Amino acid sequence: MSPVKDDLAHTQACTWASSPQFTSTGQRRTPYLLVTLSVNPFFENMYQAEAYRVGKDHVVSVSDLGEEAYYATYGSRTVLNAKKGDIYVELSCIGALDHQVVLDAEKSIVAQVLSEL
């Protein structure tokens, strides 16, 4: 996966995309994966955007991560948002098949980012 840095006015984000691998017949051999990590100024409506988008049935509160955190899933997309002070960290993944494995990895990464802030 190759990183692509994106410097927006008040958001720092980095996105990684997997390189697709195909068989000799042109079928995809590996799943496409897109991961984005962003550090954002806290605005309630932006922080809750994923929760509103997917609906409360697809949102789980996450304990022991920042002041407040939630995990949202829909289809092959997962998003973990965690608030600390006047910022929030968002880690999203598109293409993952096992949501529990992704949640465990996202929690670890977000916890590390929060500890550096």
Q: What is the longest distance spanned by two Cα atoms in the chain?
A: 51
Name which of 114, 40, 100 is nearest 71 in CA terms.
Answer: 100
Q: Which domain holds residue 68?
A: 2-116
DSSP state of 96: -
Q: How many domains does the chain have?
A: 1
Confidence (pTM)? 0.77
Q: Which helix (H) or strand (E) holds 65?
A: none
At residue 65 the predicted structure's pLDDT band, cuts being 50, 70 and 90, is very high
Beta strands in the chain (DSSP E): 2-7, 12-17, 34-41, 59-61, 68-74, 77-84, 87-94
pLDDT at residue 7 is higher than 70: no
Q: What average pLDDT does this structure show over 76-99?
A: 89
